[in-house]
Structure 1
Amino acid sequence: MQQGRRKFLKIIGGTGVILAAGAGGWSATRDPKRARLPWTDAGRIYADPIRNALSYAILAPNPHNRQPWQVELKSESEATLFCQLDRLLPETDPYNRQITIGLGCFLEILQIAAAQSGYRAEIDVFPEGSNDQKLDARAVAHIRLVADATQKKDPLFHAILNRRTNRTVFDETREIAQSGLDAIARSGYGSIRVSVLSDARSISTLKEIGWQASLVEVKTPEKHGESVALMRIGKAEIEETPDGISLGGAFLEAANRAGYVTRDSLADPASGAFAESLDYMRPLNETAGAFVILATEDNNRKSQIAAGRDYVRANLTATTHGISMQPHSQALQEYDEMKELHQKIHALFAEKGETLQMLARIGYGAEVPPAPRWALDTRIVSG
């Protein structure tokens, strides 16, 4: 984004806000630390086993960081998980498939965290049934923790607090270690297909499909508008509403104060900010060192939950090997404008009858801070 940064500096260089940003004092205060407290609170401030496990589960990856989980506590060892229905993505995720995958990530981290404390998590997924067209008010899962001295601890627990979705340019000079690729491919439970594609032809094809899919999304106004509406620009917005897409840091906040990077400009294809957002996106796509695909034999809700559980295990496994990961699944979205690319990627990379649930790029990226999160108590509802 250096070119965009130079353009921005030419526009507002010399203003007081840029001087403040460059001076270090104001800039140093722009980190939304309050929105990251759940990462330091996890496992530290909750005594009962269910809250302790939930304090880790809320750190799970999920689409657009919507954090759609709502939990009704039944006791110190039992809870029911629901989806908060006003946190869906109706434009880009019309059947709530991606949201369901995020709920699967939540359940997997909960199970890993419970095992670390000596509890077996008994999870009954969609106990009252489900609707494959839309998520509804029925329970996503009933959860019961049972003390079990024989419960094995999962080594992936130690990666939970270090796991990130990394949206930086990856280092093209470093080839991904084969040991890491093999570990990611073996990270799932075996009920769905987890494939790591590292051959040059697959990488090139997926880069092209991924870029074309990104363009379809940002150039379809109502789809891109869904993302823009969820952008939180600057420290104050991120801390007030720590879900959605965070645009933080001194540079972006200064650009926002100057009126250059705003929701309106990012939604406007004729604006400089829109053009520079594309300039920013392209290297992310082009620097993928390999891709991870998760595929299921069918596409029902339980399979989507299973895909989420395996996806977060792949992400945690990558973390333990120092490998960065970012979902790159636009071509898997099920809306009309994406239909051609959706069919193409399935024709090339799905086995007969499969649904591709996740596509992620992997490589070696710069260190990034954890994503903002709502505090656990805000995710708990009364019965």
Structure 2
Amino acid sequence: MSTTITPLVREVLPECVRTATGAPSLHNSQPWKFRIEGARVDVYADPSRRLHVLDPQGREQLVSVGAALFTLRLAVRRSGYRSDYTLFPDTDEPDLVARLTVTRPSPVSPAAEALAAAVAHRHTNRWPFAQIPVPREALDRLRDAARREGAVLALANPAGRDVVLRLARVADERLRQRPGYCEELARWTGDRVRNDGVPPEAIGPWDALESVPVRDFTEASAQRRNGEAFEPYPTILVLATEGDRKVDWVRAGQALQRTLLTATWQDLATTPISQPVELPAVRRLLIEPGSGLAAQMVLRVGYGRAVEGSPRRPLSEVLLKSDHRRS
């Protein structure tokens, strides 16, 4: 069914796509593309930007695309419209992850406005956090954010936190021994001017206490990484879904981004810790076997210093030309 929209919607959709590119992604690979057709935005996974060493199944790529989809939905909402979306709408196009359609004008709620305003301020923080407990009310808001997107966010208790961090360190060591790991890392880091990847100023120090496993992006370069003492008892959350199919990975990405933006709105710093979910054998150990849940991401949250954002590709690189035959 076609949707009739005003010229104003056609004008705002490119800016909504630009906002969507502010979503997080593995190594800031930005593995997405978009196509606008009237009131519709198709969201694609870009296979050329998948990290095959760390993400052979494409799970993390779909988590990233899911985060971009949520950000697109939020940008459309902030523009004064509601939307619907369908996941994997065309079996003949496996890279077409979602099709979003603008439906009708609608007043913007203060909650949506606040969440959308957080997009520009959400940055991965790889620095030490203050030794200040995160209030229960703030954690409840994060759990509610994940629940709204069909996911579960669990707070690790002290014993569980130590287990998760130990598994993360084990996974980090195993991943560094994988053939091609350093070469893939080098592709997404470096001092050269670029509009993707992890820039030097976003890398952060290593943990002198060897508690928090922050990925070392300097392995593939001559850059030196200083050490600092991180918080000894970090707040660790595990994001999980009831299933572990492609649609669940996209759902996890949407839940992840809503959670991260909710944290940003509360002045909380966040660090996705992806190493333990990049090894299937380790990922299975993050959740109780009888829970029926699949872990999708580990998050560290707390109060940290202000950090700069990583670069983003221009709209011209991510927005595909319209194909009027498909309208």
Establish whether residue 210 from structure 1 lines up as the match of residue 168 from structure 2.
yes
Deviation at 1:310, TM superposition (A): 0.6
Matches within 5 A, 1:170-189: 170-171=129-130, 173-188=131-146, 189=148
Counterpart of 1:95 (choices 51, 57, 63) is 57
Deviations 1:323-357 (A, max 9, x none): 1111112111146xxx3x334334xx465332111
Aligned equivalent of 1:191 = 150
Matches within 5 A, 1:15-164: 48-75=11-38, 77-129=39-91, 137-149=94-106, 152=109, 154=112, 155-164=114-123
Establish whether residue 219 from structure 1 lines up as the match of residue 210 from structure 2.
no
Unaligned runs of 5+ in 1: 1-45, 131-135, 253-262
Higher mean C-alpha displacement, 210-219 vs 360-369: 210-219
Q: Indicate if the aligned counterparts of 1:66 and 1:87 stay in contact, CA closer than 8 A.
A: yes
Unaligned runs of 5+ in 2: 1-8, 206-215
**1:150, 1:267 → 2: CA distance?**
49
Aligned equivalent of 1:260 = none
Q: Indicate if the aligned counterparts of 1:49 and 1:145 stay in contact, CA closer than 8 A.
A: no
Helix, strand or coil at the partner of 2:150: coil
Deviation at 1:152, TM superposition (A): 4.5
Deviations 1:264-288 (A, max 9, x none): 98349xxxx69x65x74x856x656
Helix, strand or coil at the partner of 2:34: strand
Counterpart of 2:125 (choices 166, 175, 178) is 166
**1:56, 1:107 → 2: CA distance?**
10
Larger Cα-atom Rg: 1
Flag the 1:297–1:179 CA change in 2: closer, same or farther, 3 A.
same
* Regions of 4+ moved over 4 Å: 150-153
**What value does the CA root-mean-square deviation take over the aligned residues?**
2.9
Amino acid at match of 1:93: D
Identical amino acids, percent of aligned pairs: 22
Q: Indicate if the aligned counterparts of 2:244 and 2:294 stay in contact, CA closer than 8 A.
A: yes
Amino acid at match of 1:195: A
Establish whether residue 302 from structure 1 lines up as the match of residue 247 from structure 2.
yes
TM-score (norm 1): 0.71
Aligned equivalent of 2:269 = 324
Deviation at 1:318, TM superposition (A): 0.8
Establish whether residue 244 from structure 1 lines up as the match of residue 197 from structure 2.
yes
**2:217, 2:293 → 1: CA distance?**
39
Deviations 1:137-169 (A, max 9, x none): 541111211232356461311211111111111
**1:203, 1:307 → 2: CA distance?**
21
**1:243, 1:51 → 2: CA distance?**
20
Q: Indicate if the aligned counterparts of 1:120 and 1:151 stay in contact, CA closer than 8 A.
A: no
Q: Indicate if the aligned counterparts of 2:263 and 2:269 stay in contact, CA closer than 8 A.
A: yes
**2:201, 2:90 → 1: CA distance?**
41
**1:190, 1:325 → 2: CA distance?**
19
Deviations 1:13-59 (A, max 9, x none): xxxxxxxxxxxxxxxxxxxxxxxxxxxxxxxxx97121121121110
TM-score (norm 2): 0.82
Aligned equivalent of 2:297 = 358
Deviations 1:188-247 (A, max 9, x none): 2162212222x32122222222222222222334224311222131xxx23xx2112212
Flag the 1:242–1:231 CA change in 2: closer, same or farther, 3 A.
same
Higher normalized helix content (fraction of residues): 1
Counterpart of 1:344 (choices 267, 274, 285) is 285
Deviation at 1:369, TM superposition (A): 0.7
Higher mean C-alpha displacement, 368-377 vs 223-232: 223-232
